Structure 1
Amino acid sequence: MKSYLSTILFLATLACVFLPSSCSSNSSSPKVCVLRNCDWSSTTNVCARYGRSNLCNRFKNSCTLRYESCGSSSSYKSVSLSECSGISVGNRGICGGSSSSSSSSSSSSSSVKPIIIRRG
């Protein structure tokens, strides 16, 4: 089976060399991701920020983070696990563990940073 996969990858590489138009970037073309040295059974949680947003996602382990980031438009960057406090595994929430059930709206204790968008 391993040699069969190697043969397919070799032929695909040759096709890209001799027919570059067949390997052009296309949003519908499949991507191949190889995740090596992954312990999928690990339960060491990892926190990652989604792009430049203030949204964080808690992953079961680093393998699930790498898998989610691989081949998709999702861009995650690992951050301290404390950023995902209050977020359960497999879910996305506000980084820093701010709680939506808090009734206090004091700006002095808030960790929310405003986003300023300037146009023109």
Structure 2
Amino acid sequence: MAKKLVIKVTAGADAPERCSQAFTVAAVAVASGVEVSLWLTGESSWFALPGRAAEFELPHAAPLPELLASILAGGSITLCTQCAKRREITEKDVLEGVRIAGAQVFVSEAVQDDVQALVY
């Protein structure tokens, strides 16, 4: 089993099932004791901002704010640098615990031994 799971989520409200699946897998992995690094890119970038997860709705899915909180409590969440810039999001805007980093950091995390990477 992988010791670390790196998940890149590109979907937001534009593809709610895919988005919810990524956050659910990340939260379940954290609860299972797996080291998790969740990357927010594309439309999921908005969930790095306070209150945005509460606006997300998907019937029969776990509430996104709860999933986000559990991931932050036991894993890490990173907002893509380019995605943040395109949306004029800065480090002072994001939730506490969310970092902004670029592709070099993603690649260095994803290519380590004992790492499984998933893209949603």
Q: What's the TM-score once normalised by structure 2's chain length? A: 0.27
Which structure has more relative contact order (CA 8 Å, sep 6+)? It is 2
Q: Which is greater in Rg?
A: 1
Structure holding more strand per residue: 2
Q: What's the TM-score once normalised by structure 1's chain length? A: 0.27
Structure holding more helix per residue: 2
